[in-house]
Amino acid sequence: MKYKTLILGYGNPDRGDDGVALFILNHLIAQKRHTPINLLETGFSILNESIDLWYNLQLVPEISEILAKYQRAVFIDAHTGKIQEDLKISEIKPYYQNSPLTHHSTPASCLSLAQGLFGSAPKSILVSVRGYQFNFTNNLSNKTKGLAIKASEYILNWINTLNE
């Protein structure tokens, strides 16, 4: 059975390694498509018949309506040294969390909104990649770039395993 998967990347590409999600999405595009896509301009694109891509600077509650249409979702973000693993993969369950920030949502909150408002939330994972530098640049550090390539491979393997 083929599952439809949404890969969601978020983070600021002008803050160094915080742009790792956009790097990963662009890496997937380079591997799977002949035509380049500028996700900074479009925000959403079809990668192939089973994978769609979404990118934004941050998660927003409005994504919940889109999430409800998918069977699988992969959230991609950067993390700092507070998480021990360089590449942390974790399953996400719908769980609403209040945020002290007015324009900030967590993956679990987006899934909770999808479930509560639209009756469905996809099976989801969070792929969190360690960032080493977050200064004003649109380049990744070499260490984070290496981890991003590994994360891309993991994501494609996860999707392919589910679609077998």
Q: What is the CATH number of the domain that holds 146?
A: 3.40.50.1450
Pairing label, strands 123-130, 87-92? antiparallel
Specify the number of domains making up the chain.
Answer: 1
Indicate the pTM of the whole model: 0.93
Please state the φ and ψ torsions of residue 8, each to the nearest 5 degrees.
-110, 120
Question: Which pLDDT value is given to residue 83?
Answer: 86
Question: Which pLDDT value is given to residue 69?
Answer: 96
Tokens in use for 93?
């369950």
Tens digits of residue pLDDT in 94-139:
998 776 555 578 999 999 999 999 999 999 999 999 999 999 999 9
DSSP secondary structure, the chain, as one string: -PPPEEEEEES-TTBGGGGHHHHHHHHHHHHH-SS---HHHHSEEEEETTEEEEEESS--TTHHHHHTT-SEEEEEEEE-TTSS-SEEEEEE-------SSTT---HHHHHHHHHHHHS---EEEEEEEE-S--SSBSS--HHHHHHHHHHHHHHHHHHHHHT-
Domain that holds residue 86: 5-162
Question: Which pLDDT value is given to residue 14?
Answer: 95
Question: Which pLDDT value is given to residue 37?
Answer: 84
Q: Which residues of the chain have pLDDT under 70?
A: 1, 34, 99-103, 163-164
